[in-house]
Amino acid sequence: MFEFELLHRDIASAARAGRFNTPHGSFDTPTFMPVGTCATVKGLTCEQLAATGSQIVLANTYHLLVRPGPQVVRRLGGVHAMLGWRGPMLTDSGGYQVFSLAELRRLSDEGVTFRSHVDGSAVELTPQRAIEVQEALGADIIMQLDECPPHEAPRAAIAEAVERSAVWARRCLAAKMRDDQALFAIQQGGVDLELRAQSARQIVELDLPGYAIGGLSVGEGHEAMLSVLRTIEGQFPRAKPRYLMGVGEPRDILAAVACGVDMFDCVLPTRNGRNAFAYTWSGPLRLRNAAHASDTRPLDESCPCPACRNYSRGTIRHLFMAQEMLGPILLTVHNLTFFAQFMRAIREAIAQGSFGRQSREWIEKLYPADKGADPNG
């Protein structure tokens, strides 16, 4: 039911291209997952989302637990039916909210209790409860509950999070009942390579369908992230997918792919799209800039999305300046289309043996103000 096929390997790096099969179809790797936190990618219909070329979508356990509740989601047919999405889906366990909602939670070895960001009520999330909720949501890939410490936490606190996350991974596996969902465990350890190796050993022992690298992209910086990613090839099984959580900057994606990462998610393309920021193969466009006011060119000549086929840069800028909702919708569609094309180009480069050269060329185009930067650090 869950099978990871390695199709191509890069000869000069750990980059690889593959395919992961799930009950709702397969997705190609390396892949990027749009974030549909509350069972919706903001502003898009399921048809618009599918047209971007995205193959797998992420939703969030904590947010759906708070509202509308897992039993309501189950009665509505699960997250696939709520989103109207027929392809693979993944649910984050709520572990990231242990980090992002630190001021609203109380943490112990048993689990975490949040003060709901909606109404202030107590929301309890234990490893067992995280699995129970995700089984009700019905995604194809589910995640263990983990503790993601802030990057500036002292080593003792990071070591405690590694141990706690390992224990929680075992409790999640013991609680899992459905065989049509793949459970991924999550590595922690900050940027401490010894703790990272320890965390990897503890979760690999569970022999799960896939493994995630958590606790990065939380303020540690590009070089510190790379120091961790360069170690994963020897820490995780080659025959299992590796998922770098919460990373979406193209420079970081290229560097992570070179280290052997297969899956990514991030709010950047959708959040930035709602804020008049467009990704293009020639570098970013900030559409609120007055320089675009009378620009008749499309966002990107090579992009097949509706925004590029039907609207000029000047028109899209006008939509944002007039606070018309179509502006954020168009840029959300465009950015997700760009990311889907970007990941497809990466897969093709790996298959053709040109990933290293093309990565350097992409960096020069995507970051024109920083030409010559090496995506691998």
- Annotated catalytic residue, options 146, 262, 265, 300: 265
For every residue of 150-205, DSSP letters joined together read -TTS-HHHHHHHHHHHHHHHHHHHHH---SSSEEEEEE--TT-HHHHHHHHHHHHT
User: How far, in Å, are 64, 83, 136, 148 from residue 133 at the CA level?
Assistant: 9, 17, 5, 20
Burial class (CB in 10 A: 0-12, 13-18, 19+), 113: middle
Closest by CA position to 276, among listed 253, 252, 293: 293
Pull the structure tokens for residue 312.
């000029």
> Would residue 92 show up in a list of annotated catalytic residues for this protein?
yes
d(CA 17, CA 162): 29
The residue whose two tokens read 């983990």 is: 146
> Would residue 109 show up in a list of annotated catalytic residues for this protein?
no
φ, ψ for residue 9 (rounded to 5)? -130, 140
* Residue 103 CB partners (closer than 8 Å, separation 6+): none
Amino acid at 342: F
User: For residue 165, how far is the Cα from the chain centroid?
Assistant: 19
φ, ψ for residue 115 (rounded to 5)? -95, 115
Pull the structure tokens for residue 56.
């797998």
d(CA 134, CA 167): 19
Burial class (CB in 10 A: 0-12, 13-18, 19+), 101: middle
d(CA 292, CA 82): 37
Grouping H, G, I as helix, E, B as strand and the rest as coil, residue 338 is helix
Pull the structure tokens for residue 152.
């500036």
Residue pair 304/281 in contact by the 8 Å Cβ criterion:
no
* Residue 154 CB partners (closer than 8 Å, separation 6+): none
- Annotated catalytic residue, options 92, 140, 146, 252: 92
Kindly list the catalytic residues.
Answer: 92, 265
